[in-house]
């Protein structure tokens, strides 16, 4: 059942620049999707409309039956949590624990529930060892996990991750990958903006492509990464395994390493 939908949504910034034009998309509970596209394509503006940080100038955004125009950002963020692209735009406490507990406390949850949420989110985001640290003593990549934990602690049904993969090492990418799976298994919807095509290929089925303020594809990753017209319009590249398969002219829309190895073995035989 659809939980979140954008219906013919456009958004213009106060300076008159129209950053999103006639966008439609919808998400079920427990779904996960990647949003990809070049810098300036309109991805962040689009997801900020999903949790009411921005309200559409045309069309409507419906969250769990609520039109976001009729509710405050605080009300919508109980249902849709947004992790900012830049953690420094989000962090404002002197220790990690206080940063994570701020959201659930604001929701008026009991002390025990707040504590349980903080500990669970810290665990999922891998920041349990830093709860007493000043977030600004932690490296950028770890500050990003602090902001993820802060949003998870609010236990919203939808979680939006804006560029969680930027500047992360392979170990951190694995934490993010496992986190998305855990959240999906709990029935939460996870929408992730990323520039990392390998991460998309390894972690998502549904891929939404934005270019020039519009959605130009919303399909299975296999169809997106083998549609050269879409890739060219969005200035995107195929994931490595697809690139190799394409150069060797083997297989059918290969995406993963396992698929590529299987095809190479077939050819060797």
Ligand X SMILES: Nc1ncnc2c1ncn2[C@@H]1O[C@H](COP(=O)(O)OP(=O)(O)OP(=O)(O)O)[C@@H](O)[C@H]1O
Footprint of ligand X (CB under 6 A): 13, 15, 17, 19, 37, 39-45, 85
Residue 231 CB, nearest approach to ligand X (Å): 16
Helix 140-152 and helix 170-185, axial crossing angle in degrees, nearest 10: 10
Backbone torsions φ then ψ of 93, nearest 5 degrees: -110, 165
**Least distance from ligand X to the Cβ atom of residue 212, Å:** 10
Residue where the block lists tokens 């300076």: 15
CA count, 13 A, side-chain hemisphere, 46? 34
Minimum distance from CB of 266 to ligand X (Å)? 38
Nearer to ligand X, 18 or 220 (CB): 18
Considering the complex, state which of residue 104 and residue 164 has its C-beta at the smaller distance from ligand X.
164
**Between residues 142 and 234, which has the closer beta carbon with respect to ligand X?**
234
**Secondary structure class of 64 (helix, strand, coil):** coil
Classify strands 80-83 and 158-162 as parallel, antiparallel or unpaired. Answer: parallel
- Residue (106 or 237) nearer to ligand X, CB: 237
With beta carbons less than 8 A apart as the criterion, state whether 72 and 52 touch.
yes
| CB 250, min distance to ligand X, A | 33
Sheet bearing 206-211, strands edge to edge: 80-83, 158-162, 189-193, 32-36, 206-211, 214-220
Report the residue number, 44 or 117, with the smaller CB distance to ligand X.
44
Q: Smallest distance, Å, CB 93 to ligand X?
A: 25
């Amino acid at each position: 059942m659809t939980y979140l939908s954008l219906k013919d949504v456009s958004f213009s910034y106060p300076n008159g620049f129209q950053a999103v034009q006639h966008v439609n998309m919808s998400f079920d509970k427990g779904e996960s999707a990647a949003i990809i596209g070049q810098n300036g394509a309109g991805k962040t503006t689009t997801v900020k409309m999903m949790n009411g940080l921005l309200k559409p100038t045309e069309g409507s955004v419906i969250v769990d039956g609520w039109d976001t125009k009729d509710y405050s950002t605080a009300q919508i963020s109980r249902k849709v949590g947004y992790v900012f692209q830049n953690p420094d735009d989000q962090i404002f406490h002197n220790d990690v624990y206080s940063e994570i507990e701020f959201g659930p406390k604001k929701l008026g949850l009991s002390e025990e529930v707040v504590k349980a949420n903080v500990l669970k989110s810290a665990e999922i985001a891998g920041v349990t060892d830093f709860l007493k640290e000043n977030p600004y003593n932690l490296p950028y990549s770890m500050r990003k996990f602090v902001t993820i934990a802060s949003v998870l602690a609010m236990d919203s049904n939808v979680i939006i991750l804006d560029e969680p993969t930027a500047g992360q090492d392979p170990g951190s990418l694995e934490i993010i990958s496992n986190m998305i799976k855990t959240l999906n298994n709990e029935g939460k919807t996870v929408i992730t903006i990323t520039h990392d095509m390998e991460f998309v290929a390894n972690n998502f089925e549904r891929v939404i492509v934005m270019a020039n303020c519009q959605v130009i594809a919303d399909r299975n990753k296999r169809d997106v990464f083998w549609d050269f017209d879409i890739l060219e319009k969005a200035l995107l590249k195929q994931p490595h395994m697809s690139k190799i398969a394409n150069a060797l002219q083997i297989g059918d829309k290969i995406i993963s390493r396992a698929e590529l190895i299987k095809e190479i073995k077939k050819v060797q035989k």
